[in-house]
Chains A and B, each alone.
Chain A
C-alpha cells in the first residue's frame, strides 16, 4: 500500500445526458503500484476513458477519493490540477495531439515551459528526451513532416520530459500499423523496465495481455 502511486477509492463518475444519468464509473477501487505496467481494458463505453481522464486529473469524480503519488486530489482547483498534470502525469494519445505549428523540439519543450524550467535547461532536457525515443535527427521537423510512428515518439518524449510519476497512454498504437505499433509498445516496455509506471488504456485484448496486470472494465464496474 505504501508504494502505490495511484489509488482510486470507490470512484463514481456520473454524467447528465439530457434527462438521464449515465454512470460512466460506478464504484471503482483500484491500486496501482510504482513501476507497474497496467492495462485498463474494456469495450467502448465501459468507462476506461473516464478512468484515464480521472487518473490524469483532466476530470474530477462525482464521488470517491483519488490519490496520485500519495497526494489526495479531492477539492483541488483548476490550477492545482494543472500542476499535477504537468509534474506527475505524462499523456500519450491515440491521435498524438502534437501542436501542429511547432517543431518536435518545441512540442517537447512545452511542458517544461509550464513547469517554469529555465531556457537553457529546457532545451537540453528536451533534446535528451528526444534522444531517448530515438528522434534526435528529427527535432526541427514539424508534425506534418513526420510519420505516424515518429509523431508518437515525439509525443512520448513530451510525456517523459518532465520526468512524471505516471505515463498514461490512451490507445497509443491505435493510429499506427502493426509493425510501428509494435515498436511503440516495445518502447513503453523499455521505459517500464527502467522503473516507470505505465498505464495503457486499450480495447485491444491482445495488446492488453502484454502487460503483467490487467484491469477490465464493463459498464462502469470492475470485471473480475
Chain B
C-alpha cells in the first residue's frame, strides 16, 4: 500500500510539474538554509578553534599585573609554588619580552624579543626551518645567541641562510647575537606573533634587558592526561588566593576555544531557527498545493470511495503525497545546503565540516512539516461525501 501511495504521489507530481516544482522550492530553500547555516556555523567554529589552538591547547599563559611586579610573588620560583599548589602541571616556563630593533647590515626591523629557557622550544612544539633551539649551556653561560621568527629571518637575510649569521639587537646599545635557529612560519595567536619574534636565552635577556626582579609572564604546560580547562580553573583559584583577582591575567587557548565554540554554536542555532521559519512557510506551500490537489481530484476520490477505499485509506494516500513531496524537497534541500556550505567555506578558506546532525534535523523537521500540513487536506479528502464526490465534474 505504501509503495502504491508513493507511486500515486509521483503520478500526481508529474501531472502538475510547475506547481509541484514551486512548492518543492519552498521546502528546498527551508531545508537548504538550515543545513547550510548549521554546516557553515560548524565549519566557522572549527576554524576559529583551530586558529586559537595554534599556540597549543595544553598551554596556559599567566601575566602578572603591573602592580604585582615588585611584590615578590612573581619570581622565578613562582613556578615551583604553582606546581606544588596545583596538580596536573608539567612545567612552568618564565619568560620576559620587550620590543627592540634588530638589524643585519642595512636591513632592520622591529621585533618582539623574548627571553626564554631552552626547554621553551620543545614545550611549544616549535618547528625549525634551519638549526635548532638554543641549549641549556647557552642559557647558563648567558651566550648571545638567538632563534629568529621566519619573517625576521626573511627580512634580515634576504639573500640566504640566516643560520650562523649575526644580528644586532638594540637596547640602549647594540649587541651582536649569533643565529642558531630559524623557525618555520607559524600562525600568530592572540598573545604572540611567532614570525615577528626572536628568542634569546632567559639569562642573557636578564642581563641585557631587564631591570626589575619580577618575571614578565609564565607559560604553563599542562601535563598529559589532564584537562587544560580544569587545570586552568585551579590555577585561577590558586592565584585568586595568592594575589587576588586583579593581580594577574590568565590566557587559556582551551577556554577561549570553548567559549568560541559556544558562541558560534548559539549563533548558528539562532540562525537555524530563523531558517526553520522558512521551512514552516514551505510547509504552508505544501498545504496549499495539497488543498488544490484534493479539490482537483474530488472525482477521483469519489471513484476510489465507490471502489471501497475507507476514509483511512484516502487520508493515507494524501498524507503519503505530502510526505513524498517534503522528503523529496528535503533530499534536494540537503544537496543544495551542502553545495552552498562547500562554496562558502571554500570562499572563506575554512575547512568544510559537514554537519550530519543538521541533515537529520532538517530532514526530520521537513517530514514533520509534511505530516503537519498534509493532515488537514488529507482529512478533508477522507471526509468527502462519496456521492457528491462522484458527481463532481
Contact = CB atoms under 8 A, between A and B. Distances in A.
Contacts of B307: 85-86, 91, 110-111, 114, 158
Contact of A82 (B1, B311, B387): B311
Interface stretch (A52-60, A62-70, A172-180, A192-200): A52-60
A158 to B, nearest CB: 7
Interface in B299-353: 299-300, 302-313
Interface string A88-104: 00010100011111100
A82 B308 contact: yes
Given A59-B387, A97-B302, 4 more contacts: A53-B387, A58-B386, A79-B312, A162-B308
A126 to B, nearest CB: 13
A115 B308 contact: yes
Contact of A111 (B4, B308, B312, B387): B308
B15 interface: yes
Interface in B226-241: none
Contacts of A86: 307-309
13 contacts: A58-B386, A59-B387, A82-B305, A82-B309, A85-B306, A86-B307, A97-B299, A97-B302, A97-B306, A99-B303, A111-B308, A114-B308, A114-B309
Most chain B C-beta atoms within 10 Å of own C-beta, residue among A56, A86, A87 = A86
B109 interface: no
Nearest to A158: B307
B81 to A, nearest CB: 81
Interface string B278-312: 00000000000000000000011011111111111
A138 B308 CA distance: 25
Contacts of A158: 307
Contacts of B308: 82-83, 85-87, 111, 114-115, 162
Nearest to A86: B308
B387 A58 contact: yes
A137 interface: no
Given A59-B387, A101-B11, A113-B1, A82 B303 contact: no
B300 to A, nearest CB: 6
A97 B305 contact: no
Contacts of A78: 310-311
B390 interface: yes
Interface in A122-171: 158, 162
Given A59-B387, A97-B390, A79 B311 contact: yes
Given A59-B387, A97-B390, A101-B11, A85 B305 contact: yes
B135 to A, nearest CB: 82
7 tightest A-B CB contacts, nearest first = A86-B308, A82-B310, A79-B310, A114-B308, A85-B308, A111-B307, A58-B386
Contacts of A53: 387
A207 B278 CA distance: 61
Contacts of A98: 303
Contacts of A82: 305, 308-311, 313
A201 to B, nearest CB: 14
A101 B311 contact: no
A53 B303 CA distance: 13
A59 B311 CA distance: 15
A63 B313 CA distance: 29
A73 B312 CA distance: 20
Contacts of B387: 53, 58-59
A158 B302 CA distance: 15
A58 B309 contact: no
A178 to B, nearest CB: 26
B15 A101 contact: yes
Contacts of B302: 97
Contacts of A93: 390
A101 B390 CA distance: 17
B390 A110 contact: no
Given A58-B386, A97-B303, A99-B300, A113 B4 contact: yes
A131 to B, nearest CB: 20
Nearest to B383: A78
A122 to B, nearest CB: 10
Nearest to A84: B308
Contacts of B309: 82, 86, 114
A110 to B, nearest CB: 5
A85 B103 CA distance: 100
Contacts of A83: 308, 310
Contacts of B311: 78-79, 82
A99 B297 CA distance: 10
Interface string B373-390: 000000000000011001
A123 to B, nearest CB: 13
Nearest to B5: A113
Contacts of A113: 1, 4
Contacts of A110: 304, 307
Interface in A20-47: none
